[in-house]
Amino acid sequence: MANIITDHEGMPVQHARATVNGVRLHYYTAGQGEPVFLLHGVPKTSYYWRRVLPHLTPHYKVIAPDLRGLGDSEKPRDGYDSITMAEDIAQLADHLGHDSYDLVGEDWGAVTAYHVASQYRDKVRRLAFIDAGIPGYGLEAKSFLTKENYASRNWHWHVNFYAVRDYPEMLITGRERIYFDYFFRHEADNPQAVSQDAIEEYIRAYSAPGGIRAMCEIYRASIEDAELNYAAEKNPITIPVLAIGAEKFHGPYVEEQMKKLATNVTGLILPAGHQLAEEIPDQLAHSLLEFLQATRALSRQ
């Protein structure tokens, strides 16, 4: 059973649901001020941000949704391409009455956040893009069976595995505990930093009916996503972008790919594996606050 998520004053976050873009999303909110959306990756849920959130709530209103098909959000049969998932978030922001906002995304949440920024340039002020690979920009190369990839914790074998129709669901279902416990700890530089309550939450969410299928559908949309990304590259976003790479995972690759899609990119490498909000939540939160507040001050000059 996951622990209660609280803000900087120890007050529980406020949970709610909203039907937007044809899907019912679960989200929670906390704090006061300008809105910041936190978008989690795969195979995680909004619970991923629980250690980062208390650093942000003294300064911002934080909105942390479960992405389409994940966590406690509805699991429709389709709509797992990045443009549709980005539209989910844009419509959620409209539903909550936010005309402008900042975006923080990690892993697939970062890819989704980028497309919100690309599609809604008059609404997104700043983007923090955390340790993600964008389809079409090297993600596929990390999935190949090569000597270098095989020797690395950054071998993305699962990209190809999930792309196979129905087979991953059959093999993982009923074995979620073994599978996800290994998966999370393998990608972390410090496997003990991924707390057992987080593992239990992720197992709970992805064991739900349709959970594994929804996870796989996101990867099955990668080829379509690559084409969407190539089209978006022709009109790069111009807002401030912080490209954070995990030193022991994607590293400088994050900044390299984002510079093809955005014109105002600042790169940062943090000393951890892929589970940054689990491994170094305080340092990650400090970096996010520094970026958001510094760029906010510049925009007001």
Known active-site residue 80:
no
177 vs 188: CA distance, rounded Å: 17
Q: Which two tokens stand for residue 266?
A: 């600042």
CB 59 within 8 A of CB 126: no
Known active-site residue 55:
no
Which is catalytic among the residues 26, 55, 115, 274?
274
Which is catalytic among the residues 48, 60, 219, 253?
219
SS3 string, the chain, reads CCCCCECCCCCECEEEEEEECCEEEEEEEECCCEEEEEECCCCCCHHHHCCCHHHHCCCEEEEEECCCCCCCCCCCCCCCCHHHHHHHHHHHHHHCCCCCEEEEEECHHHHHHHHHHHHCCCCEEEEEEECCCCCCCCCCHHHCCCHHHHCCCCCCHHHHHHHCCCHHHHHHCCCHHHHHHHHHHHHCCCHHHCCHHHHHHHHHHHHCCCHHHHHHHHHHCHHHHHHHHHHHHCCCECCCEEEEEECCCCCCHHHHHHCCCECCEEEEEECCCCCHHHHCHHHHHHHHHHHHHHHHHHHCC
Q: Which residue, 123, 125, 132, is CA-closest to 39? A: 132
Q: What end-to-end distance do the CA atoms of the chain give, in Å?
A: 47
Known active-site residue 120:
no
Which is catalytic among the residues 7, 72, 88, 107?
107
The residues annotated as belonging to the active site are 107, 219, 274
